Structure 1
Amino acid sequence: MHRFAAWLPDRVDGRIRFFAWLSFVVETVIIATGGAVRLTGSGLGCPTWPTCTADSLIPTEELTYHSLIEFGNRLMTGVVGIVAVIVVVLVWRLRRERRDLWTLALIVLLGVVAQAIVGGVTVWTGLNPFIVGFHYVSSLALVCVTAAFLVRMREEAGPRERAVPGWYQGVTHATSAVLALTIVFGVLTTGAGPHSGDAAAGRNGFHAELLEHVHAWPGYALLALTLALVIGAWRLGLPTLRWSLVLLLIELVQIAVGLYQARNGLPPLLVGIHMVLAALTAATMTVVILRLKRPAAAERPAEASVAASR
């Protein structure tokens, strides 16, 4: 044990970076595989949980390809969990001086366990659309936490200070709130639409076509606010410029995909892409928010500009 403890990183090294990125990737991939389960009507391909059937842990010959798709997503949960455990182990020696990384790693690990249980509840309730929606939002939140880990592992530990004007910080948080609202309405819209995960699964009872329009309104507001963030960061030379540009680009692609799928009968592949893009949008928004602050000892190339704008 002493030899193993000595082998663990005493600083953020290549091992931590690799598995941190892998954690982000698999948390994103599992959203895609979960979407595939729903969009192929495979939500009850394994009719029980935690086993696939009452008598078998894995799919049996009597079951269909839906069972393989659903079971594949369950296996992906195991991959996500293993990677989360590895990240926790790797930051063990850093848990005191890098409490931020330790906390984020624990959140991901505990979140994966909770998500597995929610997945079981989803099966037990026959794919209740509200629980399915919560399952997706929870997965999206874990993508954001892994993105936060990627940002913080590249920064020094210690106190942080604001790196942008107060008004810019306010607009950024308003943008994140509008993004959250857009995602919520998107989940409700999907819960009212045709992709229920199984022919026998119920819908949430809302008017799907009306929700499509309601979902679009905060989406366009999000685009306008993001454009304001880009312009403000460019004019003032703020550290959020690069990632606000990435955020704007993802939103433009997301809007294009959303418009196409709404006008072409919600093709499953486009709906799945829309789901993954929403997760990437939220992850990028997380990075922008974290860029609002910097380590207190950091260099201040835009100090004069920021102070002048206050």
Structure 2
Amino acid sequence: MNRFTAWLPEVIDRRVRVLAWLSFLAQTIIIGTGGAVRLTGSGLGCPTWPTCTADSLVTTPEMGIHGIIEFGNRLMTGVVGIIAVLVVLSVWRMRRSRRDLWVLSLVVLLGIVAQAVVGGITVLTGLNPFIVGFHYVASLLLVCVTAAFLVRLRTVPGPRELAVPRWYATLTHATTAVLAVSIVFGVLTTASGPHSGDADAGRTGFDSELLEHVHAWPGYALFALTIVLLVAAWRLHLPTLGWAVALLAVELVQIGVGLYQARNGLPPVAVGLHMVLAALLAAAMTVFVMRLKRPATTDAATDDAELAASAR
């Protein structure tokens, strides 16, 4: 055990970075596999939980493709969990010096455990649309946390200060709120639409066509606000410029996919892509928000800079 502990990283190295990226990718991929379960009508491919059937832990040939798809998503939960454990171990020896990374890694690990329980409740309640929607939002939040972990890997620990004007930070947080509203109404729209995950699963009873329009309004507001943030970052040479461009690019693709699926009868592939893009959009916004601050300039650092300047 001592030899294993000694092998764990003491500083952020390639092992930590690779695991962090694998964690982010796995959290994104499981949104895609979870979407495939619902969009192919495989939500009850494994009708019980935690086993697949009352008599089998795994899917059986009699359950066909739906059982394979549902059980495959359950296996993906195991993969995500193993990676999360490895990320926690990778920062174990840095848990005091890099408490930020330690806390974020634990949030992901505990979130995955909670998600497994919610997934079981989803099956046991016959794919209740509100629980399914919550399951998706929780997965999206875990994508954001893994994105935050990646950002913090490249950030000096310690106090931080605003790197942008205060009005710009306020506008960014307002934009984040608009994105959250758009995602919530997107989830409600999907929960009211035809892709229930199973022919016998219930729907919310809301008007899905009306919700499509309500979902689009904050989406267009988000697009307009992002343009304002991008132009301001360009004019003021702010550190958020690169991520403003990335955010706008994802939004353009997301709007295009949204319009396509709405006008073509909600094809499953387009709906699934829309779900994954929403997670990537939320992750990009997370990084954007974190770029609003930089390590705080300490008095000692300021004195050193002034001394160096006077020496020249």
Q: Give the Å deviation of 1:61.
A: 2.1
Which one-letter code corresponds to 1:24 in the other structure? F
* Helix, strand or coil at the partner of 2:62: coil
Which one-letter code corresponds to 2:161 in the other structure? E
Deviations along 1:175-210, whole A, 9 cap, x unmatched? 000000000000000000000000000000100000
The residue that corresponds to 1:304 in the other structure is: none
1:169 paired with 2:169, answer yes
1:207 paired with 2:224, answer no
C-alpha RMSD of the superposition: 1.1
Deviations along 1:131-167, whole A, 9 cap, x unmatched? 0000000000000000000000011111111100000
The residue that corresponds to 1:198 in the other structure is: 198
The residue that corresponds to 1:136 in the other structure is: 136
Measure the CA separation in 1 of the matches of 2:161 and 2:4: 37
The residue that corresponds to 1:28 in the other structure is: 28
1:126 paired with 2:143, answer no
* Helix, strand or coil at the partner of 2:206: coil
Measure the CA separation in 2 of the matches of 1:239 and 1:25: 25
Q: Give the Å deviation of 1:3.
A: 1.5
Which one-letter code corresponds to 2:42 in the other structure? S
Measure the CA separation in 2 of the matches of 1:64 and 1:18: 36
Q: How does 1:40-189 map to 2 (within 5 A)?
A: 40-189=40-189
Which one-letter code corresponds to 1:107 in the other structure? V
Q: Give the Å deviation of 1:2.
A: 1.7
* Helix, strand or coil at the partner of 2:46: coil
* Helix, strand or coil at the partner of 2:108: helix
* Helix, strand or coil at the partner of 1:62: helix
Deviations along 1:252-305, whole A, 9 cap, x unmatched? 1100000010000000000000000000000000000000001124999xxxxx
Identical positions, percent: 73
Which one-letter code corresponds to 1:205 in the other structure? G
Which one-letter code corresponds to 1:115 in the other structure? Q
* Helix, strand or coil at the partner of 2:58: coil
Measure the CA separation in 1 of the matches of 2:146 and 2:61: 38
Judge which range, 158-167 or 2-11, deviates more: 2-11
The residue that corresponds to 1:233 in the other structure is: 233
Measure the CA separation in 2 of the matches of 1:275 and 1:32: 7
Measure the CA separation in 2 of the matches of 1:94 and 1:244: 32
Deviations along 1:10-50, whole A, 9 cap, x unmatched? 11110000000000000000000000000000000000000
User: Can you give the 5+ residue segments of structure 1 that lack an aligned partner in the other structure?
Assistant: 301-310
How many residues align? The count is 300
Q: Give the Å deviation of 1:127.
A: 0.2
Measure the CA separation in 1 of the matches of 2:102 and 2:61: 44
Measure the CA separation in 1 of the matches of 2:61 and 2:149: 42
Answer with 1 or 2: which has the greater Rg. Answer: 2
Q: Give the Å deviation of 1:60.
A: 1.3
Q: Give the Å deviation of 1:5.
A: 1.4
Q: How does 1:235-250 map to 2 (within 5 A)?
A: 235-250=235-250
TM-score, with structure 2 as normaliser: 0.95
Measure the CA separation in 1 of the matches of 2:112 and 2:101: 17
Deviations along 1:70-105, whole A, 9 cap, x unmatched? 000000000000000000001000000100000000
* Helix, strand or coil at the partner of 2:161: strand
User: Can you give the 5+ residue segments of structure 2 that lack an aligned partner in the other structure?
Assistant: 303-312
TM-score, with structure 1 as normaliser: 0.95
